[in-house]
Amino acid sequence: MFFCAISGEPPQEPVVSAKSGKVYERRLIVKYISENGTDPITGDKLEESDLIAIKASPDTAAPRPPTHTSIPALLHLLQNEWDALVLGTHALEQKYNATRQELSYALYSQDAASRVVARLIRERDAAREALANVQATLGVAQPANEDVEMAENAAGEDTLPTNIISQIDETHQALSAARKKRKPPTDYATAVEVKTYVSTHTIPSLHSASPSGITSLAVSRLNPSHFLTGGNDKIVQVYDRSTDKVLASLKGHSKKVNHVAFRERESDATLVISAGADKIVKIWAHDSASGEYIPKSTIRSHKGELTGLAVHPTSTILTLCSTDKTYSLHDLSSFTQVFRSIPSEEAFTSLAVHPDGTLLALGTPTSTIQIFDIRTGAMAATLSSADAAPFTVNSLTFSENGYHLLAPNSLSSVAIWDLRKQKATHSISLGDDFKVNKVVYDTSAQYFGVAGSLGARIFAHKTWDELLRLDEGGEVSDLVFGEQGKEIWGASGREVRIWGLPST
């Protein structure tokens, strides 16, 4: 490494004197020669032509300035760098704290706005309910619901359209006349046969294991080997028992499925209908060309969990009830709402349609059953057990002859109501450990079943004899009588079990 003889520092452009052999910085020695004409070290005469450029290697790094070569200078440099780092960190923390304060204020403002909106909605709903009660008392027609969420279903909420009433009347007349003359078919299952029923078929592992459990069951009337299940896993499954294959897994619910049903008509496509705890109804139609189920409609007309679903005997009307204290009717041709009841004082927890299609029974969480005339929306009767402790009426079923209504009259007993006298004609206790989940009549009104926490039990109508206990699968959530009463279907856990005559 060279050092300039004049400055004592490494030269940027080093040259050497041919006379003295000293190394200089070119700019310094050229200036000195122009002023003095001599060598600054020896004093000998020196010209610029006597300077020889030194070719230094470009890979050689220039030495650090003298200020960076001593320990005090290094400590001072490090201190300056540390101070700059601390100041930068402090500035970042100040910006971070300011951002946190802004975010906290924004969240507080949003929460306050949400509370105000929720309070306004409650006040609006209370005002609407009060107005509806006053209008009902004065006999004034209720104005259409103007909710944006309900706009697509808001038409015709006060009274049923004339064509719908005509369909109900025609169906009532046809079914009522046939019912009075009809007797059970000669090949219908007898009480003696029902007593011998055993488990004949089990379909396991339906729906997801978490959350597990089948909540509802429906068997096809036109094709008895096809059935529907709704589950806690938010899925509706269509299953073919004859091939033991899942035909379709229908998704669309965001919470558990409470009820499923088929709508089957000879001239129309089969509809699969489900109602869930997410307040919506999903409808799929069977495409005969592809064999698949295609989404047709989603009904969002209720603000509470849907607790009841039934297809009206006309096969053109869907009935729903909800914990929002209303029930509604929907046209299955256009999938529009054609009627919505005035909010009741109680939530509705179950629903059943009279076999003639003129009456609608609704259960409540306060032990009472309200019966309405579907055509007018007027309450026809109220059934209540005076001695019963408060309980939720979670299931209802009309007998096929239309004279009786079966419903729980406590958590562990059921009552058979005579609709002509509007009183309970008989009560059956199932034991303190039995919790009723579902009640159902068969299509001949000879038998009825009760599903619950300890399995299912089958009784004979009128004699009230217990014919059969079905407890192989544990708790039964839903129960269906098969064609001609030859089979009984039950949903238990993740499986569907079928009982029938033992094979010979």
pLDDT at 1 (0 to 100): 67
Which of the listed residues 113, 143, 173 is the one where a domain comes to its end?
143
Alpha-carbon distance of 31 to 435, in angstroms, equals 113
Q: What is the CATH number of the domain that holds 25?
A: 3.30.40.10
Q: Nearest to residue 482, comparing CAs of 448, 449, 443?
A: 443
Alpha-carbon distance of 92 to 98, in angstroms, equals 10
Please check whether residue 21 lies inside any domain of the structure.
yes
pLDDT at 143 (0 to 100): 45
Alpha-carbon distance of 467 to 479, in angstroms, equals 15
Alpha-carbon distance of 334 to 339, in angstroms, equals 14
Whether residue 208 sits in one domain with residue 114: no
pLDDT at 68 (0 to 100): 61
pLDDT at 270 (0 to 100): 92
pLDDT at 172 (0 to 100): 87
Q: Do residues 228 and 237 make contact, with C-beta atoms less than 8 angstroms apart?
A: yes
- Number of Cβ within a 10 Å radius of residue 34: 9
Q: Do residues 501 and 193 make contact, with C-beta atoms less than 8 angstroms apart?
A: yes
pLDDT at 156 (0 to 100): 39
Please check whether residue 399 lies inside any domain of the structure.
yes
Whether residue 289 sits in one domain with residue 206: yes
Phi, psi of 311 (to 5 degrees): -90, 125
Whether residue 224 sits in one domain with residue 103: no
Report the 3 state secondary structure along 121-174. Answer: HHHHHHHHHHHHHHHHHHCCCCCCCCCCCCHHHCCCCCCCCHHHHHHHHHHHHH
Q: Please list the ranges in the chain whose pLDDT falls under 50.
A: 141-156
pLDDT at 289 (0 to 100): 85
Whether residue 122 sits in one domain with residue 30: no
Please check whether residue 75 lies inside any domain of the structure.
no
Whether residue 172 sits in one domain with residue 109: no
Whether residue 482 sits in one domain with residue 367: yes
- Number of Cβ within a 10 Å radius of residue 129: 15
In which element (H, E) is residue 416 found? strand 413-418
- Number of Cβ within a 10 Å radius of residue 240: 14
Helices (H), 182-287: 191-195
Q: Do residues 293 and 272 make contact, with C-beta atoms less than 8 angstroms apart?
A: yes
Q: Which residues pair with 203 in a beta bridge?
A: 496
Residue 399 structural domain: 155-500
| Token code pair at residue 502 | 């033992």
